[in-house]
Structures are given as structure tokens and as C-alpha cells.
């Protein structure tokens, strides 16, 4: 029994949802517009400012799609209304981040700086304060896109378990290991 799929989605003020013939859901709001193709078997119904996703049967596939597409639509509504933000922290001596427009320049301990191009839908900001680790702040209305961009930046230098150096999400706990111990 899908609890997520059955939950109704409340539509906030200023957000409009349009469901076309081929189950193409378009969500427009103050932050932008997103579209998602919904599985043909599922139904999307709007009434009194509440959107519900329905499934035809209790087959395993229908149950899985029910929860998935309800979550995707909810994330779209949340994104165009309030937006999403991801903050990455660069931990390490000499690690730096700067940006010129949508081009992110990272110095992560390699022999060369890394130039990373950010999509136009994602807003980029970098912070470097004395005594604190440099930060890369990404914000967008598309949850999937911002997560993918953040994961690709993090993959450039993952946090290592011995000293904790690398690119990590703000608040991420890195499991530390004990180093070598001198033996006789």
C-alpha cells in the first residue's frame, strides 16, 4: 500500500499546474517552469487546489510508479514555489573556489585548476572567508538537476577518510579512519 502515492499535493498560491492529453504535467510558478511526462497508466486529477495521482490496479509496477510520480510532481511544485539550495564545502589546505558567471574554477590540490561549467538553470555563488572553508552555493528550481550538478562537483575530489580532505556537502559527516601506527 503506497502511502506516498496516496498523499494529496497542495497547490500553493501563484503555482499553476496543467495536465495535457499525453499525461504531460507542466508546473509554472514564480521561480520558473518544469515539465514531466507521467506514465500512461496513471491518472492525475486536480480539484479544489489539491492534486492527486491515481493508479488503475495494485500491480507491483503500478504501486511503484504511483509513489514515484507523486514525489516527482511534489518536487516540481516545491521547486517552482520556493526552490532548492545545495551548499558544498571545500576542506583542505589550498583548496579554493571562484566563479566568473556560470564558470566555476576549483583548485583542489591537483597540478591544474579545474574549470566546471554550470547549466544556466542553476544559480552559482562562491564564498571565501578568512579562517573558514571555501563554499560553493548552488540554487535552482529543478531538484534533479541541482543534485546532479552538486554530485559531479563532489566527485572531482571526494572526501577521504584519513584527513577528511575533499569536497563535501555542508553538514556531511565523513567517517574517519585511524592512520598507521608505529610498530616495533
**For the segment 1-33, what is each residue's pLDDT rounded down to a tens digit?**
458 888 999 999 999 999 888 889 999 999 999
The residues spanned by each domain of the chain are 3-81, 84-169
Whether 3-81 shares its CATH topology with 84-169 is answered: yes
pTM: 0.88
Compute the distance between CA of residue 52 and CA of residue 47 in angstroms, rounded to an integer.
Answer: 9
pLDDT, tens only, 38-76: 988 999 988 888 999 999 998 999 989 999 999 999 999
Q: Answer whether residue 122 shows pLDDT above 90.
A: yes
Share of the chain above pLDDT 90, in %: 78
Return the pLDDT at 110: 92
Return the pLDDT at 180: 85
Q: What is the DSSP letter of 181?
A: -
Report the chain's mean pLDDT, rounded to a whole number.
Answer: 92
Let me know if domain 3-81 sits in CATH 3.40.50.300.
no
Return the pLDDT at 168: 94
C-alpha cell at 47: 480539484
Contact 106, 116 (CB under 8 A): yes
Return the pLDDT at 20: 87
pLDDT, tens only, 136-181: 999 999 999 999 999 999 999 999 999 989 999 998 898 999 888 8
Return the pLDDT at 87: 96
Q: Name residues whose C-beta falls within 8 Å of residue 86's C-beta, 6 or more positions apart in sequence.
A: 137, 138, 139, 146, 147, 150, 169
Return the pLDDT at 158: 94
Q: Answer whether residue 133 shows pLDDT above 80.
A: yes
Return the pLDDT at 2: 59
For the beta carbon of residue 138, count every other beta carbon within 10 angstroms. 21
Q: Answer whether residue 184 shows pLDDT above 70.
A: no
The topology (CATH level 3) of 84-169 is Outer Surface Protein A; domain 3 (3.90.930)
Amino acid at each position: 500500500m503506497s502511502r506516498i502515492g496516496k498523499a494529496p499535493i497542495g497547490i500553493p498560491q501563484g503555482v499553476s499546474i496543467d495536465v495535457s492529453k499525453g499525461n504531460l504535467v507542466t508546473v509554472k510558478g514564480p521561480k520558473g517552469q518544469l515539465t514531466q511526462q507521467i506514465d500512461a497508466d496513471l491518472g492525475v486529477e486536480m480539484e479544489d487546489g489539491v492534486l492527486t495521482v491515481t493508479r488503475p490496479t495494485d500491480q507491483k509496477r503500478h504501486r511503484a510508479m504511483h509513489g514515484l510520480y507523486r514525489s516527482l510532481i511534489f518536487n516540481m511544485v516545491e521547486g517552482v514555489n520556493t526552490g532548492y539550495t545545495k551548499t558544498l564545502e571545500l576542506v583542505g589546505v589550498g583548496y579554493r573556489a571562484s566563479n566568473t558567471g556560470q564558470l566555476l574554477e576549483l583548485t583542489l590540490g591537483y597540478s591544474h585548476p579545474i574549470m566546471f561549467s554550470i547549466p544556466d538553470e542553476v544559480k552559482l555563488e562562491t564564498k571565501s572567508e578568512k579562517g573558514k572553508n571555501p563554499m560553493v552555493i548552488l540554487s535552482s528550481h529543478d531538484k534533479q538537476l541541482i543534485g546532479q550538478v552538486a554530485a559531479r562537483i563532489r566527485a572531482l575530489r571526494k572526501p577521504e577518510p584519513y584527513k577528511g580532505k575533499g569536497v563535501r556537502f555542508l553538514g556531511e559527516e565523513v567517517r574517519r579512519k585511524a592512520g598507521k601506527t608505529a610498530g616495533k
